[in-house]
Amino acid sequence: MLNSIMNIFAFVFCSAFLVSLVCGFSRNLPILSFDEGYSQLFGDANLMVLRDGKSVHISLDDRTGSGFVSQEVYLHGYFSASIKLPADYTAGVVVAFYMSNGDMYEKNHDEIDFEFLGNIRGKDWRIQTNIYGNGSTSIGREERYGLWFDPSEDFHQYSILWTENLIIFYVDNVPIREIKRTETMGGDFPSKPMSLYATIWDGSDWATNGGKYRVSYKYAPYIAEFSDFVLHGCAVDPIEHSKCDDAPKFASIPSGMTHQQRTKMSSFRNKYMQYSYCYDRSRYKTPPSECTIDTKEAERLRGFDPVTFGGVHRRHSKRHHRIGSARAGSSSF
Ligand SMILES: *[C@@H]1O[C@H](CO)[C@@H](O)[C@H](O)[C@H]1NC(C)=O
């Protein structure tokens, strides 16, 4: 009984918190030091906290990758880090910045992912987003994009806004993807408390052209740098799901999306999106229910990969991927 009252309390509280998510807007969110927000997850000396305590290096070499995890578990919030990726030859290398509760729910976990896929020298990193809800691993909801900058040249901010009914991915405060919970998605929308993770690892088997280019340890260590940690979420007790820490901290948080941001998102997608599960006819004969088909997006994707995105029968055994750099043209959108 007490437990259920606590749950109701948590629900009401978190709902109020969500209203402030959508209504309030301020970028003055507290930036945490590494030790305030995170702990090392694996990789021994391949994780290095820098002297100011506010940035960290994680690296991959022939012995191990490395990673870190938030000390708290969160139900909704705004989560962000500035990341600088390793340069030059990075094929097979994966850097991930994501939320998950896979350690607590083996069979029905939730996940919200930013994944950075390394590339051969001279080719750009690609960035992938995805979600799973309640163990929906049979339906991948991946999207992949190019970027309007070289993510290995400087720090850029990658952020996740997660509310009860909405997930937005941002790059440098530009929304690049919005996922709205729909009735038919059911449990597929992430809904249980999750931790934040950042990892670097050997993804030789799939990261670059489906495993064609593997990690070369000749170029190791591969170092990814993280800083500007924002963990602005509703921290809950992982077992009881029963409380949000420290209400005043959540007074200011990014909103849903303004009209202007929506316009930016749509021009980003029309210029830089290289893959979306919603348009992948070789994988989903009918798109999963939450997909809304944007004719401009569809046309563009079909343009550079008619087999995957157009339902055209394959004539040759080889796919004609022409997904290269989507960077041509101006960087304003
Ligand atoms: C999530 O998965 C569990 C276990 O498979 C199931 O009992 C529950 O009904 C699911 N919840 C939703 C919202 O689909």
Is the model's pLDDT at 75 over the cut of 60?
Answer: yes
Confidence label for 322 from pLDDT (cuts 50, 70 and 90): very low
On average, the pLDDT of the chain sits at 85
Asked whether residue 234 is domain-assigned, the answer is yes
Q: Are 60 and 66 in contact (CB under 8 A)?
A: yes
Q: Are 272 and 264 in contact (CB under 8 A)?
A: no
Q: Dihedral sign, CA of 271, 273, 275, 277? A: negative
Q: Which of 290, 249, 38, 6 is nearest to 139 (CA)?
A: 290
Asked whether residue 282 is domain-assigned, the answer is no
Helix (H, G, I), strand (E, B) or coil at 36: helix
Asked whether residue 319 is domain-assigned, the answer is no
pLDDT given at position 310:
79
Is the model's pLDDT at 146 over the cut of 70?
Answer: yes
pLDDT given at position 27:
61
Helix (H, G, I), strand (E, B) or coil at 48: strand
Is the model's pLDDT at 103 over the cut of 70?
Answer: yes
pLDDT given at position 28:
76
Share of the chain above pLDDT 90, in %: 67
Asked whether residue 19 is domain-assigned, the answer is yes
Q: For ligand 1, pick from 134, 181, 188 the residue to mutate: most ligand atoms within 8 Å of CB.
A: 134
- Centre of ligand 1 to C-alpha 133, Å, is 9
pLDDT given at position 246:
56
Number of separate domains in the chain: 1
Domain that holds residue 176: 2-260
Asked whether residue 320 is domain-assigned, the answer is no
Ligand 1 neighbourhood includes 186 CB (under 6 angstroms): yes
Q: For ligand 1, pick from 108, 164, 183, 185 the residue to mutate: most ligand atoms within 8 Å of CB.
A: 108
Highest mean pLDDT among 57-66, 199-208, 293-302: 57-66
Q: What is the pLDDT of residues 15-71, one digit of tens each?
A: 444 444 433 334 678 999 999 999 999 999 999 999 899 999 999 999 999 999 999
Output the residue whose Cα is nearest ligand 1's atom 14: 187
Active-site residues, by number, are 111, 115
Is the model's pLDDT at 324 over the cut of 60?
Answer: no
CATH of the domain at 132: 2.60.120.200
Which one is predicted more confidently, 279 or 18? 279
- Centre of ligand 1 to C-alpha 184, Å, is 14
Which one is predicted more confidently, 23 or 283? 283
Nearest ligand 1 atom to alpha carbon 134: 1
Q: What is the pLDDT of residues 80-98, one digit of tens each?
A: 999 999 999 999 999 999 9
Share of the chain above pLDDT 70, in %: 80
- Centre of ligand 1 to C-alpha 138, Å, is 15
Nearest ligand 1 atom to alpha carbon 135: 2
Asked whether residue 316 is domain-assigned, the answer is no
**Secondary structure (DSSP) of 94-155:** EEEEEEE-TTT-SSS--EEEEEEE--STTS--EEEEEEE-TT-TTS---EEE--SS-TTTS-
Asked whether residue 31 is domain-assigned, the answer is yes
Output the residue whose Cα is nearest ligand 1's atom 11: 187
Mean pLDDT along residues 286-300: 91
Nearest ligand 1 atom to alpha carbon 188: 14
Nearest ligand 1 atom to alpha carbon 107: 5
Asked whether residue 74 is domain-assigned, the answer is yes
Max Cα-Cα span within the chain? 64
